[in-house]
Amino acid sequence: MTLFQKIIAREIPADIVFEDDLCLAFRDISPKAPVHILVVPKRVIPRVAESLPADMELLGHLLFTAGQIARSEGVADSGFRLVINNGPDGGETVPHLHVHLLGGRPMAWPPG
């Protein structure tokens, strides 16, 4: 079971901001911005490079949901960033696909 499956199962506490049949969104435990939320599919996809054609609708749902949460968190107009880390060089630490929603401060480009 991945760490995020344990959060989905309520075995580990989290500050949940949104849930539906397909995904759960909660605040990152080590926030890198004033708003830092993880949008996680309930069905485990380890990482985006291992997603399957059958996952396409779910992947779209995660992005759509992240945009809706950006609105409800009040950062849609000021701007925000969505990040998906994939593999070692991408900085992935939890092998359960998740979209980082970061907002509430200006973001540098390119990322370090």
Binding site for ligand AMP (CB under 6 A): 3, 12, 14, 26, 28-30, 38, 85, 91-94
Q: What stretch of H or E contains 61?
A: helix 56-72
Dihedral sign for Cα atoms in the order 91, 96, 99, 103: negative
98 is catalytic: yes
Measured distance CA(55)–CA(38) in Å, rounded: 18
55 or 77: CB nearest ligand AMP: 55
**Smallest distance, Å, CB 12 to ligand AMP?**
6
Of 53 and 88, nearer to ligand AMP (C-beta) is: 88
CA distance 46 to 85: 11
Q: Which two tokens stand for residue 10?
A: 């309520």
CB of 2 to ligand AMP, least distance (A): 10
Of the pair 30, 77, the CB lying nearest ligand AMP is at 30
Calculate the CA 21 to chain-centre distance.
16
Q: Measured from the CB of residue 11, what is the shortest distance to ligand AMP in angstroms?
A: 11
Q: Which residues are catalytic?
A: 98
